[in-house]
Amino acid sequence: MNNSVDKIDQLKIGMTTTYSRIITDTDIKSFADISGDNNPVHMNDEFAKESRFGGRIAHGLLSASFFSALFGTKLPGSGCVYVSQSLKFLRPVYINDTVNASVTIKAIDKKKRRIFFETVCTVKSKKVISGEAEIYLP
């Protein structure tokens, strides 16, 4: 075993990992609770039905949080530091939608130990969130 292997040397452009999760009513209520965002479009069936979305939707940052999960637990994994994240919210996510989050390495700066990712969430093969992230690997 060689414990001195540098994790960044094992990373390559194009590496990707995914995480799928069904958004539940409980998830949305928990997110509202910890964020303080109880916008009725997330919380109130009657209000949401009358809105442009036609039903209650998940908070955009709830789906985006799956990127954090992928970075922190899979690629590059524990110990990494979140430097930045950009997010475009392209389509609504509804209760019981299955969100597929994926992060893909687009560039690596070994000197500065930075990894640059494309980050995407899809629902039924349609992009609901796109963006980019930068991760520092101490």
The answer to whether residue 42 forms part of the interface with its own copies (CB under 8 A) is: yes
The one among 14, 36, 46, 126 contacting its own copies by CB under 8 A:
36
The answer to whether residue 40 forms part of the interface with its own copies (CB under 8 A) is: yes
The one among 34, 96, 124, 125 contacting its own copies by CB under 8 A:
34
Q: How far apart are CA 90 and CA 37, in angstroms?
A: 20
Single-letter amino acid, residue 15: M
Q: How far apart are CA 99 and CA 122, in angstroms?
A: 6
Dig out the tokens for 87 from the structure.
Answer: 């997010």
What's the closest the beta carbon of residue 30 comes to its own copies, in angstroms?
Answer: 5
Pattern of binders to its own copies over 55-94, x per CB under 8 A?
A: ----xxxx-xxx-xx-xxx----xxxxxxxxxxxx-----
The answer to whether residue 37 forms part of the interface with its own copies (CB under 8 A) is: yes
Q: How far apart are CA 83 and CA 134, in angstroms?
A: 5
What are the Cα distances from residue 114, in Å, to 32, 59, 73, 126, 133? 32, 29, 17, 29, 10
Which residues bind to its own copies, rule: CB under 8 A?
19, 21, 27, 30-31, 33-42, 47, 51-52, 59-62, 64-66, 68-69, 71-73, 78-89, 138
